[in-house]
Structures are given as structure tokens and as C-alpha cells.
Structure 1
Amino acid sequence: MGRYILRRLLQLIPVFIGTTFIIYALVWALPGNPFAGKCGARSCPQAYIDKMTEQYNLNEPVIVQYFLYLGKLLTGNFGETYSGTEVGTLIQNAYPVTVKLALVALIIEGVIGIAAGVLTALRGKGFLDNLVLASTLVLISVPVFVTGFILQIVLGVQLEWIQPSVGSDPTIGELFVPGFVLGSLSMAYIARLSRTAMMENKRADYIRTATAKGLAPRRVVGIHMLRNSLIPVITFIGTDFGALMGGAIVTEGVFNIHGIGGLIFEAIMQQEGTTVTGVVTLLVIVYLLMNLLVDILYAALDPRIRYD
């Protein structure tokens, strides 16, 4: 297992370089003046443009710019905004809230989605199965911002069960409803994915053999059927963590959460290429590490998989 982890870590290096280079090129190689509008209504002085161009290495080819940026990145320096603020400081202030929100959403979608899928698969077609299929179809069809707006109005304004806006340092309780909104779409997919996988394994030969051997139903379901059925679910959840962190722009906007989503949105609106590149690079690292974790969990869930 140790050799496999080392090999996978080495494989992440070219993937990281390739993806971050594409991100950097897309942000900085686009035509246009990155300093447009930085000096108010009038155009910026040529001396200012020359200074900023030299500071951000914009007079160099894109490939040279990237490796200069990569050298700083390896030392933990994400660069500076045009106003002189450290991007690392902005990320440090915004990231904990988004990580907390994404973890809440991940737990909610995992627990409710897997439980709904397992129950409907075990009980077969009936009222519960139709209820889960209908409710997941609604969650898939309705946009996330609509779900968030409805819950905010109903639970926050009319019933006053929650605060319509989340504070600057929210607790887990304050992030429960925003986390449910953020993970609602993935929760619907997980429920359907779990249901399908459980129903397929329910008719497998090894399940009939385990039942014929006289094993307790709880052991047949929990040890044999559920472990094999969770493999596609774990794959989805692992890759979804990065998507939840990067896709929280709408949810954070609805509930006034000051996290990574709002930081990316403001950076795009203000054309702060350094901030966009730094945040997206960090999301790439999260994706790569989560994929590595998913690969390692495969061996624990499925005894047929061996990493020698």
C-alpha cells in the first residue's frame, strides 16, 4: 500500500503542473488590458502600467510567466493583488468558512443520500421508493439558488427558525441549512446512485450464497452488499468535495457567507487574475488529494481490489 501511495503521489505531479498551467494560461494569456479601470474613470499612466507589467512578469512569454509563478507557489506565495494585498491572506481568511460549509454539505448529502438509497433498495418498489424518486427528481430539477431562496424565506423570514444571513464566523448550526442547500443536488444523485448499486448487488450470486449459508440479514447487507455498493458512491463523494468548495458561489451569495465563493466572484468582477489563479490552483490541489483518498478507500471497501 505504501508503494502504491508513493506512486500515486508521483503521478499527481505532472497532473498538477498540466492543470495549473492551463489555468494560468487561460487567465493571463487572454487578450485585453489587465489594468483597465484600475485608475478610475481615466486611463492609467504609462509609468504605472510599465511598473505593474514588470512586477507581474507580463512582458515575458506565458510559459516563462507560469514557471516564475510556480516557483513562488512552491514556497507558499500565491502572489499579490493589484492593490498589494497578499492572495494567501485573502485565502486564509475565506477558506475556513468554505471548508466548514463544504464538510457540512458533504456529511448531509452522504448520510441522507446513502440512507435513502439503501432503504428504498431493500424495501423494493412502493410508497417510500416513489417518494424518494420523486423528491430527488425535484432537487435535480430545481436550481440550487431557488432552493436556497425558498428555505431562506420560509425558515428564516416566515418561521424565524434560522437567521436569513449567516454571520462572519458561523457555527455548524448556522451552516446546516446553507450546507443542505449546497449539497441538495449531490444528495439526490447519491440517493439514486446508492439505490441502483444496491439493487444490482441484491441480485448478485455472492449475496445469494451468503444468504444460503445462513448469515444474518444485517451481516449480508452491511458487510457484503453495502461495501460493494458504496464504491461508486465514494467516487462521487470524493470528487464532489472539490466541486462543493468551488461551486459555493451561489449558496454563499444567498446566505451572505464570506467564503471562497464570494472571493472568486469579487476577483472575477474586479479582473484580479492573481486571486483567481491562486484560488483555482488551491481547488486543483483539493481535487487531486481527494482523488488519492478515494483510490485508497477502494481497497478498504472491496476486498477484490489489491494494490501490491
Structure 2
Amino acid sequence: MTEGLDTGALARWIDAEQPGVLDTSGPLTATLITGGKSNLTYRVSDGAREIIARRPPLGHVLATAHDMSREYRVMSALADTSVPVPATYGLCQDDSVIGAPFYLMESVAGTPFQRAEQLEKLGEERTRAISERLVDTLAALHEVDYTAVGLEEFGRPDGYLERQVRRWKKQLDASRSREIDGIDELYARLERSIPQSGDGTIVHGDYRLDNALVDDADQITAVLDWEMSTLGDPLTDVALVVAYQNLALHDSGDSPASVTDAPKAPGYLSVDAVIDRYATTSGRDLGELGFHLGLAYFKLAVILEGIYYRYIHGQTLGEGFDHIGDSIFPLVQHGLDATA
């Protein structure tokens, strides 16, 4: 049995709930694709066909941070829009099947470009086109009429920013195991400077290039990792894109906070070009991103602190956690700088 996914139990569930998704007459095999920094992702095969299974991390899981039904619901709703998402095959919220909720989805062809060296092989022109399409796809997501696709109850746009500040403070408190210089000051600055929320849209919550798949024609074939999606202020997505890009360009590449250095690749849109392209495509005013950037860095710091908590309690799968604890400090400083 692959740790975290009982393939025998999964096969029985498929037989009962989603017959035909895979051939369960023989044993299924499962390979872990991504480990405990996010929801666990497995490639499941019957020997002829592959699908993807997603479940929460093992052990300490922050409330609402790994909601399987949320990912499943938003991807199902976006199936007939211009936003590329995998087809969904089934959701199980019964913990007794494999020990946690899970869902099944299509295995989509494409590459999640995470490293600049991957893009460098494509050349500057193709890299620029990919980064442009990443921005355009985000703008397309924010243009989706969430009521028309059945997501009117997916979140509450009014008061979204206030709730985000409170939520991430609550998540921080749930993962506290040490003192972190400056993080409470960053929270205090955010709390006292919350702007009026913008128009409500579907928000991805963790949008970046390696959370998308790109095919050989440089088209985005799927946007993945919707675990933090909701209805809210679209500028939070834009700020997170900028925060990830700033981390890639200015922080050490071996820091766990720098989850991707793809923006370093020659041809990749600059931060200013990303902001300008989104503003032009969406028609939104991005003149004041300071609060949103501060919130983005606070959110990333809290997420990594949650991962650090699981790591020190032996509740992570995979590698790459050795320096996770140190990576929170520069994030806090970036947040303080953005809100100064």
C-alpha cells in the first residue's frame, strides 16, 4: 500500500461509486507525485489508464486549509468556461475509506514549470508567451460569472479582506510552536489598514506557473491546486503572483519560500509587465497593491509555519523540509516592507 492511499480500499470505492473510471479487476498502483507541503497528489493506474487522486496531508491539518470538496467543486464548476481545468471523476468525504476525504480527476498532459532552467531550454520567445498566458488565464478566471456556474454560495465577497486577515491569524495561532520576530507586527499593520474589498470574483488562492500545466504548444492545459479557492478580492491573486515572483528574483533559490524560480528565466515577464498586462486585460486598477502584498507574504509565512509544525512532529511525506523553519523570517520582512 502506498503511504496515505490504500489502493485496495480505493478500488472498492470506485466499484461502488464511480464504476468505469479505472479497471479494478486487477490491482491498482499509486505513485506519490507531490508530498506534504500541500495536499497529497497520487498518480493511480490500472496498467492501461491513469487518473489523479488528491487527499489532505497526513497529521496536523489546519481547519479549512485542505478542503477536498472545495477543490472538487470549483474545478467541476469551471469545466465549461475558458479556464482550463481537469475533468473531475468523483468526491469521497467519508474518512473511513482511505482515512481522509479524497477526490479523483483527469490526468492532464502538460508540464508544471517550476525551475528557470526548464524554461531556458524553450528560449525567450516561448517563455514570454507562457508567462503572458499565465497572466491572461488569471484575468479570465476573474471574469467568470460565479453565479452562472453555480458558485454563488462558494464564498462571501463582502468583507473578504477582513476575514482573510482574521483567518490567517487564526491559522498562525493554531501552528505556533516558537516566537517569530515581526509576524505579530505584520498582522497588526494588516488589521488596521484593511481597504475596501474590490468586486468579488472566483479567487484561486495560490496562483503561480507551477500550479498550472503547459503543453508542447505553450498553451496552459490545466490550472491545478484549488485548495484555497473562494469568492473574494481578485487583487489577492495578483499580489500573490507578484510575491512569488519577488521571492524568485530576490531571495535565495534554495529557500523553501522560493517555491519557484521560473520568473528568473530570460523572456519571462517582469513584475511591472505582469501588473501592466493584468491591469490592461482585466481593466482593474492595480495602483495600490501594498496591503495585498503584505497579506500575501503573511499568508505564505503562515502556510510555511503550518508545514514546519507538521515537519517537527514527523507528519510530512517527501523531502525538502530541512530548512523550512528558517524560510518564514524573510517572508515576514517582505510583508513589513510592503506595508511600511
TM-score grouping bracket, smaller chain normalisation = under 0.3
Richer in helix (by share): 1
Richer in strand (by share): 2
Instruction: For CA contacts below 8 A with separation 6 or more, give which structure has more relative contact order.
Output: 1
TM-score by length of structure 2 reads 0.21
